[in-house]
Structure 1
Amino acid sequence: MTTVSNNPFQLDVREALRTTGLPQHLTTSGPAPQRLGGEMLGVAEGAPVEIIADVTNLGESLLVDATLHGTATGQCSRCLSPLEEPLELHVSDVFGLSPDFITRDAGKTGTDDGDGEDDFEPLFVEEDRADLTQLFVDEAGLTLPFNPTCADYGRECDEGTPEPDGISEEQAAAPDPRWAGLAEKFGTTDEGGEN
């Protein structure tokens, strides 16, 4: 089943709700409802994306296994060259069919170590739809580099771009002015030479 949607992240799961056991194959496409990724690299809001998903009815919940195909655009954080890279994100999660559905009993862990377990909120099917938006937003944040560079994608930065530590070759060759006094007192040392 293939559909074009104003929000491809919202899967129509009505058919899966009627059938248990066998997964329902869904494909949706349309504009991304919001940006995925950071400021330097991401799928822009409104950019075309395609979602391919398998939805399995587990009885009191649906297992959604989905892959997003799109294009991440942005710029290199070093040379500011434009980046345009194919992006594939995969998510898998369980959506409850009623408020009685519980996927994790944080109250019985016996510890409260501040790891966020107690803040967990299960996902639910609402109006016959499974909304994958937050799952893909989170996955993009974990997958895409915060400060992307050309090297991340097998390319070299434009000629003349400073080294990663911000020091150019000319700067590296110049003596450090903080040690000028010591250099005068003890003399300078050339490679292979004497003091």
Structure 2
Amino acid sequence: MPAAISPYRVSARDLMHRPGEMRERSLEFAAPEQLGVGAAYVAEGSPLTIALRLEGLHDGILVTGEVDATLSGECVRCLDPVSRPLEVEFQELFAYSPEDAVDYTVHDDHVDCEPVVRDAVVLALPFQPVCRDDCPGLDPETGEKLADHAEQRPREVMDPRWAALEGFRAAETDTD
């Protein structure tokens, strides 16, 4: 059974060894696998749109692109689901010969953008996603969402090591 052709693979045949030539391509497909792990990721099967500009150079193909995807995950404060658009830009040189290559090469007149897109998307994912910037999170004692109970104030928890000093505070208020 032949290996499946990667949806990230783009033909560069018409740009090979033609410095100054430029082509634009657009790729749209469902993510073949999840990008990223942890609190934020791009889910497997979610739509990816990749706008590419391929430029022929003397030593390779310069690929510049923008990835549009949907970030999924869980708010690290209140554990609600998080879903929002993610836009990431990247630029990478695919060298013609492996000797000139820093990281990527042109293979069989094609460039495979998968590792470049994966790296760009994963590095752009937030380490600690929140549902909104002012999310108050969960009550540490009850575990209830503080946003659902706006009138409820967090209780002050006294460190038992300072409890002996509480008597001084009471004595001060009595003398006033």
Q: Same fold (TM over 0.5)?
A: yes
Among 116, 131, 145, the residue aligned to 1:150? 131
Cα root mean square deviation, aligned: 3.0
Change (3 A) 1:72 1:170: closer
- Give distance in 2, aligned partners of 1:189 and 1:135: 67
- Give distance in 2, aligned partners of 1:64 and 1:20: 13
Question: Which secondary structure does the structure 1 equivalent of 2:33 belong to?
Answer: coil
2:108 is the counterpart of 1:127: yes
2:86 is the counterpart of 1:87: yes
Asked if 2 retains the 8 angstrom alpha-carbon contact of 1:41 and 1:73, the reply is: yes
In the other structure, the counterpart of 2:155 is: 171
1:194 offset after TM fit, Å?
5.5
Among 126, 145, 158, the residue aligned to 1:161? 145
In the other structure, the counterpart of 2:48 is: 49
Question: Which secondary structure does the structure 2 equivalent of 1:36 belong to?
Answer: coil
2:140 is the counterpart of 1:141: no
1:142 offset after TM fit, Å?
2.3
Length, aligned pairs only = 164
Question: Which secondary structure does the structure 2 equivalent of 1:171 belong to?
Answer: coil
Q: What amino acid sits opposite 1:188 in the alignment?
A: A
- Give distance in 2, aligned partners of 1:101 and 1:193: 82
- Give distance in 2, aligned partners of 1:26 and 1:187: 71
- Give distance in 2, aligned partners of 1:193 and 1:53: 74
The answer for unaligned runs of 5 or more in structure 2 is: 139-143
Q: Deviations over 1:139-188 (max 9, x none)?
A: 22322111111234xx646785369xxxx94332x43322112223x243
- Give distance in 2, aligned partners of 1:16 and 1:193: 86
1:19 offset after TM fit, Å?
4.0
Question: Which secondary structure does the structure 2 equivalent of 1:137 belong to?
Answer: helix
Normalization by structure 1: what TM-score? 0.70
Normalization by structure 2: what TM-score? 0.77
- Give distance in 1, aligned partners of 2:7 and 2:50: 7
Asked if 2 retains the 8 angstrom alpha-carbon contact of 1:74 and 1:83, the reply is: yes
Change (3 A) 1:189 1:60: farther
